């Protein structure tokens, strides 16, 4: 099952959702601001993406700039920060069949569906 971690207020996330809707495939939408991602799930997603946790952080968000920018954080601290502040998680994230991508640009989603 394809899963999209979606923020309806984000243009790129809405574009990613549209790609999935147009694909005709079944998928699940998780509005991660309403349904928080568990630590285990976030670690799994990061592993599927093949990136360091810091690369999943939206560094232009005000809370990152005011509270975390320039600090030396461990990977676990970064993950904890994203769990406590889900707005910091890049979006959309699409997971399918053991693969994941950040839909920036949204056309990247096509490669894994």
Tell me: the pLDDT tens digits for 81-94? 999 999 999 999 99
The torsion of the CA quartet 14, 20, 26, 28, rounded to 10 degrees, works out to: -30
pLDDT in tens, 30-69: 999 999 999 999 999 999 999 999 999 999 999 999 999 9
What is the average per-residue pLDDT within 85-104? Answer: 97
Domain count, the chain: 1
Give the Cα separation of 31 and 24 in Å (integer).
20
CATH of the domain at 56: 3.40.30.10
Note the pTM of the prediction, 2 decimals. 0.95
**62 — phi, psi (to 5°)?**
-55, -40
Task: Give the pLDDT band of residue 16 (cuts 50, 70, 90).
Answer: very high
Positions marked active-site: 10
Residue range of the domain that includes 53: 2-112
């Amino acid at each position: 099952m394809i899963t999209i971690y979606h923020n309806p207020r984000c243009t790129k996330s809405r574009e990613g959702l549209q790609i999935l809707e147009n694909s005709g495939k079944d998928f699940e939408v998780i509005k991660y601001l309403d349904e928080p991602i568990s630590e285990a799930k976030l670690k799994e997603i990061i592993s599927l993406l093949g990136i360091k946790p810091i690369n999943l952080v939206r560094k232009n968000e005000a809370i990152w700039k005011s509270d975390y920018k320039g600090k030396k954080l461990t990977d676990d601290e970064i993950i904890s920060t994203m769990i406590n502040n889900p707005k910091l998680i890049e979006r959309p994230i699409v997971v399918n069949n053991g693969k994941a991508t950040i839909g920036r640009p949204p056309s990247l989603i096509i490669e894994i569906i």
